Amino acid sequence: MPHNHSHSHGADGKELPPCTCGIPDAPRNRHPESDPKETMRKGLTQCQYCYISQGGGISLKKCGACRTAIYCSPECQKKAWPSHKVQCKLNQRTNSSVAYSDIKLLRAFTSKHRPSLAEYGIRALDLVSDPTRCLRDVLLVNLANRPESGRSETSFYALSVQVVPLEFFHGNAEEMRGQLLQLNEQQKRIGMTGSFFVVLACIAGGECVSNIAPVGFDKSSLFGLKRGMPWKDELMRKLNEGIVT
C-alpha cells in the first residue's frame, strides 16, 4: 500500500464548503476507543516498493527530495524510482507552493486515520460489488482546520465526505487516472486486488491544501461485506472524535 502524496490544487476549481461555524472544540485527551499502540495504523505504514510494514525492527525513511514517499532501504527506493518519479516532482512542487507546516499537519492527520479511511473507503466505493470502481471514483473528505488542537488526530474537522468521479478534479483528472492505473498494476503484481484514492482537502491560509492517500485492498478486505453498507456517519465520527486504531 503506497504512502501519501499531496497537492495544493485540491478539487481544482471546486470550492470546499465555506461554512465552518458550529465546529466543536477539539478533544484534549486520547479517545477511549483509540488503541494506545495504534497497531493497525502502524501496520499500514509501509515501504512504497515492497510494502513491508514499519515495526519489528523495520524502520522507514522518507524520500529526500519530496519528503513524502517512504522506503525500507536504498535498494527499494532505487527500484521504485521509475514509478515514483512523477509523484516526486508533484510533491516537490506542492512543498514549494504551500506552507510546508500545513502539508505536514494534513499528512499527519491522514496517517493517524488511515485505518478508518481504508475500512470505510472500501464501503463508500462499494468495491465488494465492483472492484474496478477504484479506477473511476474517489473518496473526497472536505476538512476545516482546528488550530487549537494539540493532537494530530484531531487537528482537522470533517465537514463532509462524498464519493466523486475522477472528472470532478478537472485538469488533474487524467494525471490522477494514470497514477491509479500504475498503482493498481503494482498492487496486482504482489497479489492484491487493487488500490483507490482518498483525497483530503482543507482551506488553510487562503490556499487549498490537499493530500491524496492511496489505499490498497485485497480479497480479505472485502470478506463479509455487502453492497450498500453504511459508512458515512461512522467515518465522520472517527475522524471528528479522533479515534485512532
Task: Render pLDDT for 92-141 as a digit per residue (tens, 0 to 9).
Answer: 666 665 666 888 899 999 999 999 999 999 999 999 999 999 999 999 99
For range 160-168, the mean pLDDT: 98
Question: Has residue 166 been placed in a domain?
Answer: yes
Q: What's the chain's average pLDDT?
A: 86
d(Cα 235, Cα 168) in Å, to the nearest integer?
22
pLDDT band at 9 (very low <50, low <70, confident <90, very high): very low
Structural domain total, the chain: 1
Examine residue 223 and state whether it is found in any structural domain, yes or no: yes
pLDDT tens per residue, range 180-208:
998 899 889 889 999 999 999 998 667 78
Integer Rg of the chain from CA: 17
Q: State the pLDDT confidence band at 164, using cuts at 50, 70 and 90.
A: very high
* H or E stretch at 56: none
Residues in Cβ contact with 163 at an 8 Å cutoff, skipping those fewer than 6 apart? 124, 125, 137, 138, 139, 140
Kindly state whether residue 77 falls inside one of the protein's structural domains. Answer: no
pLDDT at 91 (0 to 100):
67
Q: Which ranges of the chain does DSSP label H, i.e. alpha helix?
A: 39-43, 74-97, 100-112, 114-124, 173-189, 219-222, 232-241
Q: What are the pLDDT digits (tens) for 37-85?
A: 888 888 778 888 887 888 767 889 989 888 778 899 999 999 888 878 7
Confidence of residue 223 (pLDDT cuts 50, 70, 90): very high
The helix or strand, by DSSP H or E, that contains position 203, with its residue range, turns out to be: strand 194-204
List Cα–Cα distances, 31 to 24, 106, 239, in angstroms: 15, 19, 11
User: What is the side-by-side order of every strand in the sheet holding 5-7?
Assistant: 5-7, 207-217, 194-204, 137-145, 156-165
Is residue 74 a part of any domain in this protein? no
Amino acid 13: pLDDT: 46
Taking 90 as the threshold, does the pLDDT of residue 154 lie above it? yes
Q: Does residue 180 form part of some domain?
A: yes
Mean local confidence (pLDDT), 202-217: 85
Q: Are strands 70-71 and 61-62 parallel, antiparallel or unpaired?
A: antiparallel
Q: Are 98 and 24 in contact (CB under 8 A)?
A: no
As a whole number, mean pLDDT of residues 150-156 equals 95
pLDDT at res. 65: 86
- Please give the residue range of the domain that contains residue 152: 5-18+32-46+100-241
Supply the pLDDT for residue 11: 44
Within a domain: residue 63?
A: no
Q: pLDDT, tens digit, for every residue of 165-178?
A: 999 999 889 989 99
Within a domain: 84: no
Q: Decide if 215 is inside a domain.
A: yes
